[in-house]
Amino acid sequence: MPTVQTVRGPIDTADLGRTLMHEHVFVLSTEHQQNYGTGDWWNEEERVADAVGKLNELAALGIDTIVDPTVWGLGRYLPRVQRVAEQTRLNIIVATGLYTYDEVPFQYLNRGPGRLVDTPIDPMVTDFLRDLRTGVADTGVRAAFLKCVVESKGLTPGVDRILRAVAAAHRETGAPITVHSSAAARTGRLAVQVLRAEAVDLTKVVIGHAGDSNDLDYLRELADAGCLLGMDRFGLDRYNPTGKRVDTIVALAAQGYADRMVLSQDASCYIDWFPGEARAAVAAAMPNWNYTHVPTDVLPMLRERGVTEEQLDQMLVRNPRRYFE
């Protein structure tokens, strides 16, 4: 039986059930929270209870698993996620990797092959492998996939280095990969180019945020390369409104691409990019960007438009399972 690591430990991939492939529990920088949050916008107990409530609501709507690509750069801190996982039946799968649009963090900048501190292996790879094989810090929680970014700046030296480090960890472990891409800049192509050159199995790659694009030629090109398309920002209407995202999925499903799409919202129980009072402003600006938009609104819209139960099952259950097997 193939298994996949979750925050509570390994489960059979057959038990993943309906899976949202890109949701954050907490996006919360330690430095930000420690310096400006405490006594102001951050209350640990309230936020943990709030997250438990949101995940339980999602579970009650028929979702079984979320895949959380929160890594360094977004504020991964697993003890807090463990507290949440203990209080919900929802499975949470976590990642290793790095989130940056440009340079690598200083903690890696001058260490590595040919750098000031010359090491045979990029220490980033060593750290990713530790997260995948042993567990993150002393939590005992193992990451199950790798996360990297190619934003509109493209393949900067830092971004390129991270992609190649992620590819190396993938080759060693078989762990699948999720790339945050910019649909506007078509950077999914750049990710495919580097990952292909690095001998990555492209069927184990999600091009995250591909669904911000309605360019069917671009999307089919990525899917034909083997990648899964992350139709994963439902509710982020500023990038692409729900109606258009639905149109694009309907079109691709009709052309036989249901086996190349996964669904999600890219929501967070709490995101410190919008702390304190900024939360209300962002909720007013993007009311659909919430934790239940896909099961509550999107799935009924897809059904209404003729997407079959079999195709929905493919996108929500079988594609995520295949990705982790």
Look up residue 72 and give its DSSP letter: B
Number of residues that bind Zn ion (CB under 5 A): 1
Please name the amino acid found at residue 321.
Answer: R
Residue 230, sorted as left (phi over 0), alpha (psi -120 to 50) or beta, turns out to be: beta
Cβ-proximal residue to Zn ion, closest one:
266
Sequence-separated (6 or more) residues with CB below 8 Å from residue 51 = 25, 26, 84, 269, 270
Give the nearest distance from C-beta 74 to Zn ion in angstroms. Answer: 7
Give the nearest distance from C-beta 69 to Zn ion in angstroms. Answer: 6
Among 127, 131, 266, 272, binds Zn ion (CB under 5 A): 266
**For residues 127 and 266, which CB has a smaller minimum distance to Zn ion in the complex?**
266
Give the x-and-dash track for 131-150 against Zn ion (CB under 5 A): --------------------
**For residues 16 and 71, which CB has a smaller minimum distance to Zn ion in the complex?**
71
Q: Roughly what angle, to the nearest 10 degrees, separates helices 157-173 and 123-133?
A: 40
- Block residue for tokens 């079999």: 310
**For residues 264 and 319, which CB has a smaller minimum distance to Zn ion in the complex?**
264
Distance of CA 115 to the CA centre of its chain: 30
3-state secondary structure of 253: helix
Q: Which stretch binds Zn ion (CB under 5 A): 96-104, 113-121, 145-153, 265-273?
A: 265-273
**For residues 4 and 149, which CB has a smaller minimum distance to Zn ion in the complex?**
149
* Residue 232 within binding range of Zn ion, rule CB under 5 A: no
- Block residue for tokens 């976590």: 94
Give the nearest distance from C-beta 99 to Zn ion in angstroms. Answer: 8
**For residues 212 and 266, which CB has a smaller minimum distance to Zn ion in the complex?**
266
Q: Which stretch binds Zn ion (CB under 5 A): 31-39, 193-201, 239-247, 258-266?
A: 258-266
Give the nearest distance from C-beta 68 to Zn ion in angstroms. Answer: 9
Distance of CA 318 to the CA centre of its chain: 17
> What is the per-residue DSSP string for 38-57?
BTTTB-HHHHHHHHHHHHHH
Q: How far apart are CA 251 and CA 21, in angstroms?
A: 21
Give the nearest distance from C-beta 24 to Zn ion in angstroms. Answer: 6
3-state secondary structure of 278: helix
Q: Which stretch binds Zn ion (CB under 5 A): 49-57, 243-251, 262-270, 312-320?
A: 262-270
| Interacting residue ranges for Zn ion, rule: CB under 5 A | 266
